[in-house]
C-alpha cells in the first residue's frame, strides 16, 4: 500500500531539541546525511511536509567530512556518485541542494541564520550522533530526526539490546507489514531557485578530482565495478531478482557462487531503502524470499539494535561478558602462528583461502559473507591477543569494505568474537567461542572454485 497525505509515521520522528520553528526565517532545510536518495525517503518527505505547512521553500544540505575515520577515496567516490544523482533529481523537483566540502557541522553553522526548521535523517554511529548533538547545541530553530534507513524503527522493536536474532525476530516480524509503507513524495508548494546561501556549493562535476583535492587516502583503489547511486542500486536489485533470488537460500553461503544481492553498500549510504527492496520481493512466488527477507530485515536490523543500544559497539568492551571472559582465560594459549597487522592487510598468511578473502576485500571492496566469518575467526586465532585481533578485524573491515563503518559490519565482526551467538565446546585459544577451520570449508564447498573465482575477478 502506498501512503498518501501525512506520510511519515510518527514513530519514525524524534524532536532533538526544544527550540521553536522560526517562521521569520527564509527556508526549511533537510540535512541529508545517512539517506542519500530521493525515492522512499521518509526524512525528505517529512521535510517537504514541513516546508509546505510553513509555506516556505525547502533546501537540501549535504556535508562532506574530509577526515572521516577509516574512510578512503573508494567510499567518498561511491557516496558522492549517489549525491550527484540526488542533486539532479531534486533540481527536477525544484528543490535546491547545497553541498559543503569543508565539513558537516561547519556548513550548517554557516546556514543556520536562515533556517526555520531543520530535519535530518537518523544515524547510529558515534561520530554521526556527535554531529547531531553539536548542531543541536548551537541551532536556534526546531530540529527533527527521522528514521529512514530501517524497515521498523529501532525503538519501536525494542527498548534494549537484543541477545540474538531469535529474540529480535519474535518482536519485529509482526511489525513489518505496518511499518513497511511505501510513500509518494508530495510536490514542494513554495518553489524558489533564488535562495541565497552563505557559501558556494561543492562542484560534483568531477568527483575523482574533488576527492583528490580533499586529500583523502586512496587505499585499495577505486573498485571500479562499484558505482554509487540509486539508479545503480535499482539495477543491482533487478539483476538479483532475475538471476539470483531463485536458489538464494541454499546457494548464498557457497563462496564459489557469489549468490548475494550486492546491495549492502547501497543500503549503507542510503541510496536505496530496505522498504523498497522489501516490496520488490515480498509477493514473488519464490520459495527463497523468506530467507532473503531474514537477512534484509531481521539480521540487518539486529545490527542496528546492537549499535543503537550498545555504547561500546566498536570496542572490545562491547562484546558479551561471557565471550570476553573465555577469550581472556585462553589469552596465553600458544598460537600456531601470529601475524602483524601489515601481514594481514597484505594477505600474507599461510592460508590460501584467507588470503583470497583478504584480496577480495582489498581489491573488490567486499567479501563473501561466509568467508567473512572464517576471515574474522582466523584473525582471532592468529593475533597476539584476542583484543588486538578484534581491533584489527574492525579496522580492516572499516577501511576496505565498501560498506565499512556500517552497523552490519560492526555486528558481523563482533559475531566472530561471540556477539549474537552462544557458548560452544571449550577449546584452546577460542575458549567457548564458535570455531571454524579450513577443513570445514573444504568439506562444505568447492574451495578450489572459490580461489579460481577470486583470481579471475581481481585480475581484471
How many domains are contained in the chain?
A: 1
The whole-number pLDDT of residue 452 equals 96
Backbone φ and ψ of 115, nearest 5°: -95, 125
Please give the grid coordinates belonging to residue 450: 572459490
261 inside domain: no
Give the confidence band of 113 by pLDDT, cuts at 50, 70, 90. very high
Nearest CA-CA partner of 289 in 151, 297, 301, 235: 297
pTM of the model: 0.96
CATH code for the domain in which residue 373 is found? 1.10.579.10
Percent of the chain clearing pLDDT 70 (strictly above) = 97
**Average pLDDT score over residue span 422-451:** 97
Determine the Cα–Cα distance for residues 268 and 300; give it in Å rounded to an integer.
11
Q: Which residues contact 440 (CB under 8 A, 6 or more apart)?
A: none
- The answer to whether residues 132 and 229 touch, using CB atoms and an 8 Å cutoff, is no
- Asked if residues 223 and 402 have their Cβ atoms less than 8 Å apart, the reply is yes
Confirm whether 246 is domain-assigned: no
d(CA 135, CA 123): 14
What mean pLDDT is reported for the chain? 95
Identify whether the C-beta of residue 323 lies closer than 8 Å to the C-beta of residue 417: yes
- The tens digit of pLDDT for each residue in 195-248 reads 889 999 999 999 999 999 999 877 765 565 789 999 999 999 999 999 999 999
Asked, for residue 390, whether it belongs to a domain, the answer is yes
Give the integer Cα–Cα distance in Å for 163 and 183: 32
343 assigned to some structural domain: yes
What are the φ and ψ backbone dihedral angles of 205, each rounded to 5 degrees?
-65, -35
Residue 392 lies in a domain: yes
Query: Is there a domain that residue 296 lies in?
Result: no
pLDDT at residue 332 above 80? yes
Domain for residue 350, yes or no? yes
Indicate the pairing of strand 182-183 with strand 2-3. parallel
The residue range of the domain holding 430 is: 311-458
Tell me whether residue 294 is exposed, middle or buried, using C-beta atoms within 10 angstroms of its C-beta: 0 to 12, 13 to 18, 19 or more.
middle
Rounded Cα distance, 48 and 59, in Å:
10
User: For residue 88, how many other CB atoms are within 10 A of its CB?
Assistant: 12
CB-CB contact of 263 with 277 (8 Å): yes
- Residues 380 and 386 sit within 8 Å (Cβ to Cβ): yes
Which residue is listed with cell 524558489?
192
**Residue whose grid cell is 502506498:** 2
**More confident site: 231 or 68:** 231
Pairing of strands 27-31, 182-183: unpaired
Query: What pLDDT score does 101 carry?
Result: 96
Residue 380 resides in a domain? yes
List, as one string, the DSSP characters of 161-209.
--SSHHHHHHHHGGGHHHH--EE-PPPPSS--S----SSPPPP-SSHHH
340-370 per-position pLDDT tens digit: 999 999 999 999 999 999 999 999 999 999 9
Beta carbons of 453 and 357 less than 8 angstroms apart: no
Amino acid at each position: 500500500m502506498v501512503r498518501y497525505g501525512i506520510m511519515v509515521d510518527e514513530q519514525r520522528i524524534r524532536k532533538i531539541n526544544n527550540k521553536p520553528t522560526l517562521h521569520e526565517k527564509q527556508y526549511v532545510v533537510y540535512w541529508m546525511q545517512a539517506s542519500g536518495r530521493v525515492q522512499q525517503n521518509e526524512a525528505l518527505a517529512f521535510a517537504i511536509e514541513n516546508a509546505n505547512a510553513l509555506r516556505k521553500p525547502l533546501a537540501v544540505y549535504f556535508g562532506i567530512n574530509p577526515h572521516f575515520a577509516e574512510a578512503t577515496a573508494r567510499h567518498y567516490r561511491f557516496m558522492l556518485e549517489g549525491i550527484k544523482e540526488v542533486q539532479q533529481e531534486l533540481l527536477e523537483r525544484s528543490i535546491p541542494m547545497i553541498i559543503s566540502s569543508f565539513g558537516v557541522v561547519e556548513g550548517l553553522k554557516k546556514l543556520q541564520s536562515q533556517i526555520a526548521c531543520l530535519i535530518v535523517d537518523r544515524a547510529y554511529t558515534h561520530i554521526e550522533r556527535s554531529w547531531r548533538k553539536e548542531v543541536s547545541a548551537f541551532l536556534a530553530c526546531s530540529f527533527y530526526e527521522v528514521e529512514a534507513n530501517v524497515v521498523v524503527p529501532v525503538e519501536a522493536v525494542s527498548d534494549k539490546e537484543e541477545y540474538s536474532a531469535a529474540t529480535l525476530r519474535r518482536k519485529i516480524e509482526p511489525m513489518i507489514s505496518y511499518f513497511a509503507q511505501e510513500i509518494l513524495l508530495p510536490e514542494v508548494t513554495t518553489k524558489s531557485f533564488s535562495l541565497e546561501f552563505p557559501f558556494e556549493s561543492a562542484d560534483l562535476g568531477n568527483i575523482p578530482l574533488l576527492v583528490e583535492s580533499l586529500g583523502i587516502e586512496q587505499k585499495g583503489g577505486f573498485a571500479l565495478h562499484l558505482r554509487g547511486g540509486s539508479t545503480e542500486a535499482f539495477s543491482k536489485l533487478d539483476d538479483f531478482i532475475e538471476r539470483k533470488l531463485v536458489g538464494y537460500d541454499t546457494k548464498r553461503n557457497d563462496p564459489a557462487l557469489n549468490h548475494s544481492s550486492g546491495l549492502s553498500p547501497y543500503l549503507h549510504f542510503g541510496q536505496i531503502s530496505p522498504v523498497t527492496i522489501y516490496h520488490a520481493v515480498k509477493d514473488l512466488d519464490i520459495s527463497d524470499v523468506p530467507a532473503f527477507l531474514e537477512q534484509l530485515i531481521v539480521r540487518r536490523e539486529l545490527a542496528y539494535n546492537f549499535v543503537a543500544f550498545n555504547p561500546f559497539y566498536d570496542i572490545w568492551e562491547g562484546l558479551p561478558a561471557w565471550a570476553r571472559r573465555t577469550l581472556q582465560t585462553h589469552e596465553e594459549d600458544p598460537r600456531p602462528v601470529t601475524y602483524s597487522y601489515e601481514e594481514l592487510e597484505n594477505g600474507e598468511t599461510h592460508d590460501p583461502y584467507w588470503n583470497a578473502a583478504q584480496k577480495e576485500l582489498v581489491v573488490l571492496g567486499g567479501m563473501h559473507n561466509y568467508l567473512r566469518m572464517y576471515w574474522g575467526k582466523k584473525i582471532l586465532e592468529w593475533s597476539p591477543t584476542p583484543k588486538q585481533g578484534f581491533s584489527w578485524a574492525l579496522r580492516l573491515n572499516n577501511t576496505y569494505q565498501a560498506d565499512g563503518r556500517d552497523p552490519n559490519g560492526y555486528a558481523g565482526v563482533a559475531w566472530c568474537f561471540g556477539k549474537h551467538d552462544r557458548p560452544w565446546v571449550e577449546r584452546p585459544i577460542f575458549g567457548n567461542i564458535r570455531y571454524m577451520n579450513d577443513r570445514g570449508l573444504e568439506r562444505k564447498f568447492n574451495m578450489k572454485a572459490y580461489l579460481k573465482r577470486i583470481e579471475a575477478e581481481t585480475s581484471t
